[in-house]
Amino acid sequence: MTTPGSLDLRAVGKTYAVDGRPLTVLQDIDLRIEPGEFLAIVGASGCGKSTLLRLIIGLDDGYDGDILLDGHRITGPGLERGIVFQEHRLFPWLTVEENVGIGLEATSVPAAEKRRAIREHIDLVGLSGFEKAYPYQLSGGMAQRAAIARGLVNRPEILLLDEPLGALDSLTRVHLQDELLRIWTQENVTMLLVTHDVEEAVYLADRVVVMEPRPGRIRRILPIDLPRPRNRAAPAFAAVKETIIQELRR
Amino acid sequence: MPSDLIAAERGAWRPMLTMRRAPRRPERTAWLTERAAALLLPLVVPAVLLALWQLSATHGWVSVQVLPPPALVAQTLFDLLWSGDISGNLWISLRRILSGFLIGGLAGMALGIAMGLSPRVEHYLSPLFRAVAQVPSLGWLPFLILLVGIGEPLKFLIIAKACFVPMALNSFEGIRNIPPSFLEVARVFRLSRRALVLKVVLPATLPPVFSGVRLALSHAWIALVIVEMLASTEGIGYLTAWGRTLFQVDVVMAGMAVIGVVGLAMDAGLKRIERRLRRWSPARA
Amino acid sequence: MPAAPPFLHAPGPRIRRGAVLPAALLLAWAAAHSGLVNGHLLVPVEKVALVPFLDPQGIHLWPGLAASLARMAAGFTIGAAAGLLLGLSMGLSRTADRLFGPTLHAVRQIALYAWIPLLTAWFGNGEPAKVVFIALSAFFPMVLNTQEGLRTVPAAYREVARVLTLSRWQLLRRVLLPGAMPSIAIGVQLALIYAWLATVGAEYAMGLGRGVGTLLSEGREHFRMDIVIVGVLTLALVGFAINAAFGRIFARALRWRGPAR
């Protein structure tokens, strides 16, 4: 039950008050994410998928039910969970190297070890040679790579991805999807991806969670049993994609 | 479009800032405390200062000549208001501002527009203009005193110059910063020159020009105080300096209060109009 | 004149055209002196240039300038440091903002020079009143820009800091201060310019002691247009130099913002 990197959501709900009236954003989310799994959540706008991610990372407090990481209830942010936002959110005043290093700022890792980890993760995301570059000098894809390196540098058990490729052009996007898969295999980290792109979810994930809005609930969980590397043009791929799109339309 | 979806989705967690969770009892108390803090905390510093001031007056920590008691300052302010000293001097000051602003500001606007529309005009005039702008009102003061004496023309020139510079700069930038894409759109729709000016150039330049008005008046007010204190025999700045000459600090303080209130009123009023003019632009640029 | 507003004009013969008017003015000045007008107000161009070096009064410019700059440095240091501290506390703590903000914004509305009569009544016409006045003028831009800088650090960056479990100190040092730095830099630059103007203004208004402002007011009293012109030019040139120097320093310190700003 407590292998590192397992995430357990039990009857999770979230309610805000809007103008005095309660608004339920999430309701009865039950989900278990296995260690090392790549799980994708898709859903229309307002289905609360980003809210769910914010609850798991610990930015939004006060929720109903339990979110358990390796058996412990989540209250607030922690380094065992990393996140990559849609906008890269690199600090513009830090170089790539320093931006990745900031992920280790709150740890007591010795300096030499830090330098090694930073170098390794810059290599991992393929940004060698850009260590001293400032964010304004990077393309969108490169910036997002640096953000991934920052999310992984302190070796979290689970990496949350909040539509990390959503703002990129489609070519860069397809390329970075492959990179994500490579990083996932290489780092052996649990990944939880929120996306509105069904194809992306099917291409990447072991399982796809389809959510429906108002209030945000899980409609269906589909295992994707296609062998990797997946072929987007294959009929089986298209069939799974179509199933999910149908679920979203209902 | 995906990006729209994302934006809407993101709206869902904006609650962090704009919405509050369902009000439970402890949160209600927190909300009340919050309101009270917002209302009362700003009063603490003035209250403490006033109390210290009063204490100092009661116990004679410093001489009354240097720091008259608050009640005396209030009394003086009231007397000066009642006797018409303040309104009379203020009226003179405001008239100076108005005439300086009308002439100087309009001239500045004309120059700014001319430089904005024609690069040739800009090439010829902008270096000289920038040199003139570089010298602050304070610098022009002794120079102009020698040229025109300390009469009314001096005040007019100083204030007109103070209005001229920001109006020229803002009108110029206003025209220069119209995005070329707007003009392309106008060309695509074959707008007439008249329509181009009315529908594109004017609306796009109005807000920066009005910012120029606000800047001009605030510069004019500062310049007015300088010139009235250093070279005048009437006006609100003179009244303040006159209090100093007589060593009546209560008059000085009353004068400062009036200068502050007028400055505040002018600034607040103009900012309000400015916001209205810019209401179509999302984040105030 | 081209028909459409020429927004995309090539930078033409700027320098030649720009020099025309100033040159014409100088010529007119020289011509006027060489015969037409004979007044003590129209001093010859070449004489003005030599005033700071040869004239027995004008030579006071140099010690005066040194004294003014020293005075400005003292006032600026006090005012900017106090402004930075208050701005930081107001930017970091809402309580501090509520305590001091409204009072500050009210007091700020008093045109700066209106403080001079009060300050001279309190501190006399000597050095203390001048330094306090300079400090006051450096104080306001520093407070406002520091607070504004901290306030406008995007919430997204604060969230990153929370996710990475940075401590309060790390948040301040790595996120808030660097994020506020562009605005603080503007504050410093404004504070310097204001302090310089206040220095000359205080000297001019209060008299006593050496300084560029004192030189100006003496020149005016003795109807020495040449000295007044030299003083005014010094006032403008020092302001220009401050802007240029700090523009350069900050451009380097803030190079992370990239060229397109």
| Res C220: pLDDT | 87
Q: Tell me the average pLDDT across C106-112.
A: 89
- Given CB atoms, is A132 within the 8 Å cutoff of chain C? no
Q: Could you tell me if A156 lies within 8 Å of chain C, comparing CB atoms?
A: no
| Partner-chain contact C165 A106, CB within 8 Å | yes
Number of DSSP helices (H) and strands (E) in chain C, helices first: 11, 0
Grade residue C136 by pLDDT with cuts at 50, 70 and 90: very high
Write down the pLDDT at residue C37. 52
**Residue B151 confidence class, pLDDT cut points 50, 70, 90:** confident
The number of beta carbons lying within 10 Å of the beta carbon of residue A116 is: 12
Averaged over C189-195, what is the pLDDT? Answer: 93
Give the residue with greater pLDDT, A4 vs A68: A68
Mean pLDDT of B28-40: 80
Confidence of residue C174 (pLDDT cuts 50, 70, 90): very high
* Residue to substitute from B5, B9, B10, interface A, most A β-carbons within 10 A: B9
pLDDT score at B50: 92
Q: What is the Cα–Cα distance from C32 to B114, expressed in whole angstroms?
A: 30
Whether residue B143 sits in one domain with residue B100:
yes
Interfacial residues of B (vs A; Cβ cutoff 8 Å): 2-6, 8-10, 12-13, 15-16, 19-23
B190 and B103 share one domain: yes
- With contacts defined as CB-CB under 8 Å, which chain B residues touch A198? none
B21 and B103 within one domain: no
- The pLDDT-based confidence of C206 (bands split at 50, 70, 90) is confident
Distance from CA of C21 to the nearest CA of B (A): 7
Q: Which of B12, B16, B23 sits opposite A48 (nearest CB)?
A: B12
| CB atoms A166 and B12 under 8 Å | no
Q: What mean pLDDT value characterizes chain C?
A: 85
Question: Whole-structure pTM over 0.90, yes or no?
Answer: no
C176 → chain A, closest CA residue: A91
Per-residue pLDDT, B247: 86
Task: Give CA–CA dist A35/A58, Å, rounded.
Answer: 19
Same domain, yes or no: B193 and B124: yes
Answer whether B9 sits within 8 Å of A17, measured CB to CB.
no
Q: Which residues in chain A belong to E strands, given as ranges?
A: 7-18, 21-33, 38-43, 64-69, 72-73, 81-84, 158-162, 190-195, 207-212, 217-223
**Taking 60 as the threshold, does the pLDDT of residue C191 lie above it?**
yes
Nearest residue in chain B measured CA to CA from C15: B123
Say what the pLDDT of residue C27 is: 80
Q: Are C258 and A134 a contacting pair at CB < 8 A?
A: yes
Name subunits touching B (3+ CB pairs < 8 A): A, C
pLDDT digits (tens, 9 = 90+) for B197-252: 787 788 888 888 888 999 999 999 999 998 998 888 888 989 999 888 888 899 99
> Do B39 and B174 fall into the same domain?
no
Question: Are the Cβ atoms of A196 and B5 closer than 8 angstroms?
Answer: yes
Q: What is the extent of the structural domain holding B102? A: 70-280
Cα end-to-end distance, chain C, whole Å:
31
Give the pLDDT confidence score for residue A193 in this predicted structure.
95
B117 and B13 assigned to the same domain: no
Please indicate if any CB of chain B lies within 8 Å of the CB of A54: yes
For chain C, strand residue ranges (E) read none
pLDDT at B21: 45
* B17: pLDDT strictly greater than 50: no
Question: With contacts defined as CB-CB under 8 Å, which chain B residues touch A22?
Answer: 22
Mean pLDDT of A152-181: 91
Of B118, B134, B147, Cβ closest to residue C239: B134
Instruction: Taking residues A171-188, report their average pLDDT.
Output: 91
| Residue B4 pLDDT | 37
Does the beta-carbon distance from C256 to A83 stay under 8 Å? no
Chains touching A, CB cut-off 8 Å, 3+ pairs: B, C
Per CB-CB distance under 8 Å, the chain B contacts of A163 are 6
Higher-pLDDT residue of A170, A19: A170
Indicate which of C152, C159, C162, C164 best probes the interface with A, i.e. most A CBs within 10 Å of its own CB: C164
Selecting from A22, A167, A196 the residue whose C-beta is nearest the C-beta of B22 gives A22
Residue B9 has pLDDT above 60, yes or no: no
Whether C252 shows a pLDDT value over 90: the answer reads: no
Separation in Å, CA of C41 to nearest CA in chain B? 7
Q: Tell whether B200 and B87 lie within a shared domain.
A: yes
Cβ atoms of B273 and B134 within 8 Å: the answer is no
Residue C42 has pLDDT above 50, yes or no: yes
**Pairing, β A38-43 against β A207-212:** parallel
Residues B171 and B270 in one domain: yes
Model confidence at C188, pLDDT cuts 50, 70, 90, reads very high
Please, which pLDDT band fits residue A167 given cuts at 50, 70 and 90?
confident
pLDDT above 50 (res A114): yes
CA-based nearest residue in chain C for residue A133 = C256
Q: Is the pLDDT of residue A1 over 70?
A: no
- pLDDT-derived band at B130 (thresholds 50, 70, 90) equals confident
What is the average per-residue pLDDT within C251-260?
79
Residue A37 or residue C20, greater confidence: A37
* Greatest distance between any 2 Cα atoms in chain C: 79
Residue among B4, B10, B20 minimizing CB distance to A17: B20
Preceding peptide of B68 cis, ω within 30° = no
The reply to whether A27 touches chain B by the CB within 8 Å rule is no
Q: How far apart are CA C101 and CA A83, in angstroms?
A: 37
Mean pLDDT of B111-130: 88
pLDDT at B282 exceeding the cut of 70:
no
CA distance readout (Å), B196 to A210, A233, B170, B187, B212 = 51, 52, 20, 9, 23
Residue B285 placed within a domain: no
Are the C-beta atoms of B219 and B138 separated by less than 8 Å? no
Contact at CB, C174 and A91, closer than 8 angstroms = yes
pLDDT higher than 50, residue B283? no
* Lowest model confidence (mean pLDDT) among B43-57, B164-178, B182-196, C236-250: B182-196
The domain that contains B209 carries what CATH number? 1.10.3720.10
Residue A228: is its pLDDT beyond 50? Answer: yes
Interchain pair C113, B226: CB under 8 A: yes
Contacts of B258 in chain C (CB under 8 A): none
- Does some domain include residue B54? no
Residue C10 has pLDDT above 60, yes or no: no
Best to test chain A binding among B5, B10, B13, B16 (most A CBs inside 10 Å): B13
Q: Identify whether residues B265 and B163 lie together within a single domain.
A: yes
Cα–Cα distance for residue pair B258/B264, rounded to 1 Å: 10
Verify whether the Cβ–Cβ distance A83 to C179 is below 8 Å: no
Instruction: Examine the domain organization and report whether B131 and B235 are in the same domain.
Output: yes
Quick one: average pLDDT of A197-201? 92
Residue B62 lies in a domain: no
B235 and B134 in a common domain:
yes
Please give the single-letter amino acid code of residue A134.
Answer: Y
Question: Which pLDDT value is given to residue C14?
Answer: 72
Calpha distance C211→C62 (Å, rounded): 9
- Rounded average pLDDT over B145-169: 91
Can you read off the two tokens belonging to residue A245? 């799109």
Q: Is residue B53 part of a domain?
A: no
Q: Inform me whether the C-beta atom of residue C169 falls under 8 Å from chain A C-beta atoms.
A: no
Low-confidence winner among B4-8, B190-194, C208-212 (lowest mean pLDDT):
B4-8
In chain B, which residues have their Cβ closer than 8 Å to the Cβ of C112?
222
In a 3-state reduction of DSSP, which class is residue B266? Answer: helix
**Residue A229 pLDDT exceeds 80:** yes
Q: Is residue B163 part of a domain?
A: yes
Least confident segment among A222-236, C41-55, C59-73, C189-203: C41-55
DSSP A227-247: PSSP-TTSHHHHHHHHHHHHH
Instruction: Give the distance from CA A16 to its chain's centroid.
Output: 24
Comparing alpha-carbon positions, the chain C residue that sits nearest to B118 is C6
Domain count, chain B: 2
Q: Is residue B65 included in any domain, yes or no? A: no
Q: Which neighbouring-strand residues pair with A26? A: A14, A216
**Closest Cα in chain B to A213:** B9
Both B132 and B250 in a single domain? Answer: yes
Q: Of A77-81, B80-84, B195-199, C144-148, give the range with the top mean pLDDT.
A: C144-148
Taking residues C95-102, report their average pLDDT. Answer: 92
Contact list, C156 vs chain A (CB under 8 Å): 85, 87, 89
Question: B164 lies in a domain?
Answer: yes
Neighboring chain C residues of B180 at a CB cutoff of 8 Å: 7-8
Shortest Cα distance, chain A CAs vs residue B282, angstroms: 20
Structural domain contains residue B265: yes
| Alpha-carbon gap: B8 to the closest alpha carbon of chain A (Å) | 6
Residue in C closest to B268 by C-alpha: C109
Report how far residue A166's alpha carbon sits from residue B20's, in angstroms, rounded to the nearest whole number: 29
Q: Do A51 and B5 touch (CB under 8 A)?
A: no
Contacts of A93 in chain C (CB under 8 A): 178-179, 181, 256
- Report which listed range, A191-205, B270-284, C43-57, is most confident: A191-205
Q: Do B15 and A16 touch (CB under 8 A)?
A: yes
In contact, A26 and A52? CB cutoff 8 Å:
yes
